[in-house]
Amino acid sequence: MKRRFTMGKIIALANQKGGVGKTTTTINLAASLGSLEKKVLVVDADPQANATSGMGIEVRDVEYSLYECIVDQIDTKQAILPTDVEGVYLLPSHIDLVGAEIEMLDLPEREKMLKKILEQVRNDFDFILIDCSPSLGLITVNSLTAADSVIIPVQCEYFALEGLGKLLNTIKIIQGRLNPELEIEGFLLTMYDSRLRLSNQVVEEVRTHFQDMVFDTIIQRNIRLSEAPSYGTPVLYYDANSKGAINHLNLAQEVIAKNSK
The pLDDT of residue 6: 54
The pLDDT of residue 239: 96
The pLDDT of residue 19: 81
Average pLDDT, the chain: 92
The tens digit of pLDDT for each residue in 204-243 reads 999 998 999 999 999 999 999 999 999 999 999 999 999 9
2: confidence class by pLDDT, cuts 50, 70, 90? very low
The pLDDT of residue 225: 94
Look at residues 171, 245, 156 and name the one whose alpha carbon lies nearest to residue 13.
171
Over residues 143-160, the mean pLDDT reads 92
Over residues 75-79, the mean pLDDT reads 96
The pLDDT of residue 26: 97
**C-alpha span between 165 and 169 (Å, rounded):** 6
Look at residues 144, 126, 128 and name the one whose alpha carbon lies nearest to residue 136.
144
Over residues 183-187, the mean pLDDT reads 97
pLDDT at 5 over 60: no
The tens digit of pLDDT for each residue in 97-131 reads 788 888 888 888 899 999 999 999 999 999 999 99
Per the DSSP assignment, residues forming a β-bridge with 192 are: 220
pTM: 0.95
Q: Are 140 and 22 in contact (CB under 8 A)?
A: no
pLDDT at 145 over 80: yes
The tens digit of pLDDT for each residue in 21-46 reads 899 999 999 999 999 999 999 999 99
The pLDDT of residue 136: 83
Query: What is the phi/psi pair of residue 130, to 5°?
Result: -105, 120
**C-alpha span between 69 and 107 (Å, rounded):** 14
Q: Are 30 and 234 in contact (CB under 8 A)?
A: yes
**C-alpha span between 134 and 136 (Å, rounded):** 7
- H helices of 17-163, in order, are 22-35, 50-54, 66-71, 76-79, 97-104, 113-119, 138-146
Over residues 248-252, the mean pLDDT reads 98
The pLDDT of residue 220: 95
The pLDDT of residue 143: 96
